[in-house]
Amino acid sequence: MNPTDPSIIHGVSRLQAWSDEQRRAGKRIALVPTMGALHEGHLSLVRLARARANRVIVSIFVNPTQFAPGEDFERYPRDLESDLAKLRPLQVDAVFAPSVGDLYPAGPPTWVEVDGLTESLCGRGRPGHFRGVTTVVARLLNAAKPDIVIFGEKDYQQLATIKRMVRDLCFDLEILSGATVREPDGLALSSRNAYLAGEGRRQARALSAALVEARNAFESGERGVSRLLQVARQRIEKEPLIQLEYLELADAESLGPLLSGAGIQRSAVLAVAATIEGTRLIDNTVLEVV
């Protein structure tokens, strides 16, 4: 084995033993949870982990409980060998690749659920999704026992929800987030971009472009919620393959929707979800009020 190859760890108790050993040796451990199909967005989180900790664990697990029936759980891209090849140059110490049975023993699972933050935005279109996310992340945190856990800002609502869970359940760790990494034309990196091709892929750039246009308006002084949404919507509506699921301005902290007649007075997140030729994409930008 190449000396920079990470240990591949499958079972929970083996990971816990590994983590205990690192901690006894005084090492600071960072966990980067992923569903695999790694792209430069994930790798940027691994680099952040590398910079902030002595030991880096990447978990690779396509979590069934965060997919609803009819979503893409079965066809979600899985390629452990290719993922390991991408991680090799980054000096990851351990890759945790559990089976479904490792994290979900027989019987109805114990659920972890964050109310409030999970009802708006993606929570409306994907009921149960965030419950699945918090349910698996709680398991991963107890399995890896990290000092630091790192998530991407592309999944803004997921990040907010996990921050809330970590605070509420008293997990003794620090959450860091990494900025969204984008293609040259602005499209946010996503494992699901692999489903896109041709004209669908070309039109997908409108999502990030719409956010940039609204952000430009905001930075030029526009504070009207309706007006900012209109700027973004106009850009998206130019692309006939985009089926908009939502385009919303929400309070950056509570994720509650801003009233359309109102103005932005506190930091807000402009978030979008859309389907292009069957592929669901999300993106967001934070409009900061200081």
171, HSE (Cβ side, Cα atoms, 13 Å):
23
Judged by CB under 8 A, does residue 167 bind its own copies?
yes
Span of 49-57, 83-91, 160-168, 202-210 interacting with its own copies by CB under 8 A: 160-168
* Least distance (Å) between residue 76 CB and its own copies: 23
**What whole-number distance in Å separates Cα of residue 99 and Cα of residue 132?**
16
Stretch of residues binding its own copies (CB under 8 A), selected from 79-87, 135-143, 236-244, 267-275: 135-143
DSSP 58-100: EEE---GGGSPTTSSTTTS---HHHHHHHHGGGT-SEEE---H
Question: Is position 104 an interface residue for its own copies (rule: CB under 8 A)?
Answer: yes
What is the rounded CA–CA span in Å between residue 38 and residue 41?
8
CA distance linking residue 240 with residue 257, whole number of Å: 26
**Does 115 participate in binding its own copies (rule CB under 8 A)?**
yes
**CB distance 33 to 49 below 8 Å:** no
Number of other residues whose CB lies within 10 A of the CB of residue 216: 11
110 part of the interface to its own copies, by CB under 8 A = yes
> Closest distance between its own copies and the C-beta of residue 168, in Å?
4
Q: Are 97 and 8 in contact (CB under 8 A)?
A: yes
The reply on whether position 21 binds its own copies by CB under 8 A is no
Of positions 165, 181, 252, 269, contacts its own copies by CB under 8 A: 165
Alpha-carbon distance of 1 to 108, in angstroms, equals 39
Q: How far is it, in rounded angstroms, from Cα 53 to Cα 45?
A: 12
Options 30, 45, 48, 114; binder of its own copies; rule CB under 8 A: 114
Query: What does the alpha-carbon distance between residue 31 and residue 141 come to, in Å, rounded to a whole number?
Result: 8
Q: How far is CA 105 from CA 34, 60, 100, 131, in A?
A: 20, 18, 8, 17
**First and final CA of the chain: distance in angstroms?**
51
Residue from 169, 179, 259, 289 in contact with its own copies (CB under 8 A): 169
Q: Residue 168 or residue 185: which is nearer to its own copies going by CB?
A: 168
Answer yes or no whether residue 29 interacts with its own copies by CB under 8 A. no
**Is 42 among the catalytic positions?**
yes
Token output for 144: 């890896």
Q: Which of residues 57 and 114 has its CB atom nearest to its own copies in the complex?
A: 114
Member of 126, 139, 154, 235 binding its own copies (CB under 8 A)? 139
Closest separation in Å from C-beta 15 to its own copies: 9
Question: Which of these is catalytic: 10, 39, 42, 129?
Answer: 42
Among 8, 80, 88, 111, interactor with its own copies by CB under 8 A: 111
Interaction of residue 186 with its own copies, rule CB under 8 A: no
Question: Least Å distance between CB 157 and its own copies?
Answer: 15
Q: Which residue of 69, 70, 101, 107 would you call a contact of its own copies, by CB under 8 A?
A: 107
The residues binding its own copies (CB under 8 A) are 12-13, 16, 103-105, 107-116, 134, 138-140, 142-143, 145, 164-165, 167-172
Return the active site residues: 42
